[in-house]
């Protein structure tokens, strides 16, 4: 045991005793140096390295919770639930691909690598998505045969690392997603710590087993949108112009990034907000780089509209999607589909209370577990340990994911019908109001009960009367 370990144990014991004693009046916690901030300073002083973890941003930022739908009223009528149709199908890649993807539901499964996830976990994602008519996405580590087999629609990512990239899998894919960035870490590469680089993972990535595997943050053979246009052209040539080409960006400068992706020839733009998950990234990156999903959608949609490409180039939004309400709000702001990562992992069994004993052994608790990079997941999802992975049932996981996706679709339809829409894509910003000034400014919808859209240029013509509370 090192000196630092001994200090760590001593500190844990003190904390345990403090928790047993509980709070007493006079024990005032600093809002600035709260227990998390103090804990992090002590951890950094002990370990001398930044904290790496999985999951997405945990801080509170303006989000879909800050929006409400208005629903139908005197001036518009709703649709009957269960009886009147409210369609949910979406086609991705209609701009240039000869074989666009036809989704039955407007929710896709985001890119998560074999390596980050176990083989049975990837299988469960494929089973759940295929059962509901939607797509899954590979990740930084290539395409596994199991994944291809269990996913009716599979999006193949082209990442800076190009681990496992090959033309056969490109042709086997249903779409190609060029990853420029992701919401959890715009501007960052990847990391897969040695304990998860098993023989199979190492072989797929052409690396030695057990080393800390770093993925580059920039693509090796193109820089900037002019090159990207040529790169997209090459991928189209290699795949004979069949596959939709997605470009995924982390939310930072969405107006320009989306415009440049369109200019580069993308069929679909995937926009991942800062709440988007990751298997392993520095906490400082997750919490402090990128902008919230809510703030990113309106500028992205504006860019598409300015180019006359809204609905021609589809916009897929991810980062903090948890429910059918979140999906409906993303669509109402102008997205064509939403994508889930963390939520899908939770749906198949991550952070399940049934595994509390396993989480306790890791010093955490169900609902808080985020050390996905360590490969010790008691659920057998974020691991490459065969014994742990064997605990996970891909059939049950797939079933749970299908249930969850269907629930979200029903929720989105419920809202869309209430707003009088016969297709979820008919939801529009006009259906929304915001609960906070911040959300109103970001989403560019009025603060509830007012006509006020903070930051919007004052209209020059006659103004609609502001509703008074």
Partner 1 sequence: MSRSGGGLEAEEVDLARTPLRELNAELHALGDDDRRRWRVLNPRGAHAVAAGIDAPVEVEIDGHAGYYCAGMNKRATVRVRGNSGVGLAENIMSGTVIVEGNASQSAGATGHGGLVLIRGNASARCGISMKGVDIVVQGSVGHLSAFMAQKGRLVVCGDAGEALGDSIYEARLYVRGEVESLGADCVEKEMRDEHLAELRDLLQRAEVEDCSPEDFRRYGSARRLYNYEIDDAGTY
Residues lying near partner 1 in the complex (CB under 8 A) are found at 47-49, 161-163, 165-168, 170, 194, 205-208, 210-212, 214, 216, 220-222, 227, 230-231, 233-234, 237-241
How far apart CA 298 and CA 313 sit, in angstroms, is 15
Q: Which residue, 43 or 406, has its beta carbon nearer to partner 1? A: 43
Shortest gap between Cβ of 211 and partner 1 (angstroms)? 4
Q: For residue 277, give every residue at least 6 positions away whose Cβ sits within 8 Å of its Cβ, in sequence order, or none.
A: 54, 55, 56, 110, 184, 341, 342, 345
Give the residue with the Cβ less far from partner 1, 237 or 357. Answer: 237
Nearest distance from C-beta of residue 285 to partner 1, angstroms: 16
At its nearest, how many Å lie between partner 1 and the CB of residue 3?
A: 15
Q: How far apart are CA 442 and CA 297, in angstroms?
A: 9
To partner 1, the closest distance from the beta carbon of 356 in angstroms equals: 31
The nearer residue to partner 1, 136 or 161, going by C-beta atoms, is: 161
Cβ-based nearer residue to partner 1, 12 or 234: 234
Question: Over the Cα atoms of the chain, what is R_g?
Answer: 23
CB of 182 to partner 1, least distance (A): 19
The least CB distance from residue 218 to partner 1, in Å, is: 10
Residues found in the chain = 469
Cβ partners under 8 Å of residue 42, min gap 6: 11
Specify burial of residue 262 (Cβ count, 10 A radius: 0-12, 13-18, 19+): buried
Q: Which is nearer to partner 1, 224 or 465 (CB)?
A: 224
By beta-carbon proximity to partner 1, the closer residue of 155 and 159 is: 159
**Three-state DSSP class for 295?**
helix
273 CB-near residues (< 8 Å, 6+ apart) = 183, 251, 290, 291, 292, 293, 294, 295, 296, 317, 318, 319, 320
């Amino acid at each position: 045991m090192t000196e630092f370990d001994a200090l760590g144990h001593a500190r844990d014991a003190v904390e345990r005793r403090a928790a047993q004693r509980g709070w007493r009046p006079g024990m005032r916690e600093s809002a600035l140096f709260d227990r998390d901030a103090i804990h992090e300073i002590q951890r950094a002083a002990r370990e001398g390295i930044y904290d790496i973890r999985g999951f997405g941003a945990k801080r509170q930022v303006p989000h879909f919770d800050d929006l409400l739908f208005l629903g139908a009223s005197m001036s518009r009528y709703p649709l009957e639930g269960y009886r009147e149709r409210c369609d949910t199908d979406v086609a991705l890649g209609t701009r240039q691909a000869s074989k666009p993807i036809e989704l039955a539901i407007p929710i896709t499964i985001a890119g998560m690598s074999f390596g980050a996830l176990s083989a049975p976990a990837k299988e469960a994602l494929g089973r759940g998505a295929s059962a509901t008519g939607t797509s899954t996405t590979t990740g930084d580590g290539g395409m596994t045969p199991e994944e291809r087999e269990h996913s009716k629609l599979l999006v193949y990512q082209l990442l800076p690392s190009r681990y496992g990239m090959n033309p056969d899998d490109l042709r086997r894919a249903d779409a190609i997603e060029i990853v420029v960035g992701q919401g959890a870490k715009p501007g960052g590469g990847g990391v897969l710590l040695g304990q998860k680089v098993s023989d199979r993972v190492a072989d797929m990535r052409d690396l030695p087993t057990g080393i800390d595997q770093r993925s580059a943050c920039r693509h090796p053979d193109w820089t900037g949108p002019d090159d990207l246009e040529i790169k997209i052209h090459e991928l189209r040539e290699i795949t004979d112009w069949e596959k939709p080409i997605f470009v995924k960006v982390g939310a930072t400068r969405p107006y320009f990034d989306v415009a440049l992706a369109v200019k580069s020839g993308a069929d679909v733009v995937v926009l991942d907000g800062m709440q988007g998950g990751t298997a392993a990234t520095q906490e400082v990156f997750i919490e402090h780089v990128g902008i919230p999903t809510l703030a990113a959608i309106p500028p992205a949609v504006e860019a598409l509209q300015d180019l006359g490409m809204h609905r021609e180039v589809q916009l897929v939004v991810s980062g903090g999607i948890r429910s059918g309400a979140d999906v409906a709000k993303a669509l109402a702001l102008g997205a064509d589909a939403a994508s889930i990562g963390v939520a899908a992992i939770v749906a198949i069994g991550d952070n399940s209370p049934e595994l509390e004993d396993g989480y306790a052994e890791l010093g955490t608790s169900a609902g808080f577990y985020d050390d996905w990079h360590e490969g010790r997941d008691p659920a057998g999802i974020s691991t490459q340990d065969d014994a742990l992975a064997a605990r996970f049932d891909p059939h049950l996981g797939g079933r749970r994911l299908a249930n969850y996706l269907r629930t979200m679709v029903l929720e989105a339809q419920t809202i869309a019908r209430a707003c009088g829409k016969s297709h979820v894509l008919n939801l529009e910003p006009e259906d929304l109001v915001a609960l906070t000034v911040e959300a109103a400014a970001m989403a560019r919808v009025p603060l509830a009960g007012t006509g006020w859209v903070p930051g919007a240029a004052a209209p020059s013509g006659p103004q609609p009367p502001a509703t008074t509370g």
